[in-house]
Structure 1
């Protein structure tokens, strides 16, 4: 019988930067004359429990995903313990997760950790670039990439009506898919320019008018598709 991972004893291999900072601040506050102890108790009451809870939840979710892979016979616990790429990815994911609270980013990080356990996961360079991207990107970056990886499928999955015109622009596609983004046009333009500059999408100008067929075809590059697969 295949033994699942005991989630109670899962710990990241590397202490997150946030916890190092937490210890340093605690030490600095504790060293203050007169006010050290009260201030330290106040600091701990605000940060210690929430950070520990956030890390524990990330570890739990990764562990559940890994147990599914073990149950399917795709990976083994012994193999994971020897998988340096996987261990490094989980450590980095735990680190990044402490700096983020949005559900979509946390889900992407969880998926990245689980996908790093699979045979044929991206190489170290790809993984480090992709994890850094998730760390600094916004949720809008991820949403736009998922939309333009397969626009037709996205509209079907999300039960949205396509703009039925013979010619449309990518911004009009976004307007129908995510109207809240077009209401903050400076954010949309900044995010799209960022995706283009990083080589994740093909089209530079969102206002470029294309045929309906072209606009609803895949707009992500091969590099962008690798990123989406890693986070899915």
Structure 2
């Protein structure tokens, strides 16, 4: 019932918006035809994002229910879960970036598994949804990289040279991802923002933070919790 009322209000707001836009564009030469062209072009894309999102979420939740890990009927009656799904769906509709959409799916999936048992889960999930809205795929890549940088270096067989004991964080990152060197300023800013969020231990992207002969984990407990919350592939694979 609550969800249907919210949906009705959303539709009403959308209809008012379209009427206002049409009236405004009617005052501009070719305005109405331009508006019709715009909505015809972009509405299918918006709908496709929503359909793809809903389909994938349903498949994942059904799999978890078939495994006896969740009860969809119980979740459907839970207002907190409905709130998280509505917020995550809105954000997914607005995003084309795969990393962020997958992070949103992780929030929904992990919430479905823990929300009914963990009283704090809604607050964490709701907070992380707000963070996902503001960050970029580079933020997520940085976090994943420096949660276990040594493992990535070994898997990619990267030679960090003779300066291993005094490596800067940014040196390690661009050795792993040389294709992003031209965006160094942007990525440096992303690192600073991760520190402001409490996700990484060092503010400067030029700090080392590594022990001699060893690349240390640079994510905080808070950053690790965020990464756990946005991961879902291992929960729904096989």
Q: TM-score, normalised by structure 2?
A: 0.80
Give the gaps of 5 or more residues in structure 1: 1-10
Greater alpha carbon shift after TM alignment, 13-22 vs 193-202? 13-22
1:28 and 2:20 correspond: yes
Greater alpha carbon shift after TM alignment, 35-44 vs 141-150? 35-44
Shift of the 129–13 alpha-carbon distance from structure 1 to 2, 3 Å rule, reads farther
- Partner residue of 1:192? 191
- Partner residue of 1:8? none
Which whole-Å deviations, capped at 9, do the CAs of 1:28-82 have from their partners, x for residues lacking one?
2343558675345323202221111111111111111111211211002212212
Give the gaps of 5 or more residues in structure 2: 232-238
Are the aligned partners of 1:130 and 1:227 in contact in 2 as well (CA < 8 Å)?
A: yes
Which residues of 2 match residues 1-232 of structure 1 at below 5 A? 15=7, 22-31=14-23, 33=26, 38-119=33-114, 123-156=121-154, 159-161=156-158, 163-164=160-161, 165-212=164-211, 216-232=215-231
- CA–CA distance in structure 1, aligned partners of residues 32 and 142 of structure 2: 47
- CA–CA distance in structure 2, aligned partners of residues 63 and 43 of structure 1: 30
Report the secondary structure of 1:73's partner residue: coil
- Partner residue of 1:5? none
More helix by share: 2
Shift of the 177–99 alpha-carbon distance from structure 1 to 2, 3 Å rule, reads same
Greater alpha carbon shift after TM alignment, 50-59 vs 205-214? 205-214
Q: How many residues align?
A: 221
Greater alpha carbon shift after TM alignment, 203-212 vs 104-113? 203-212
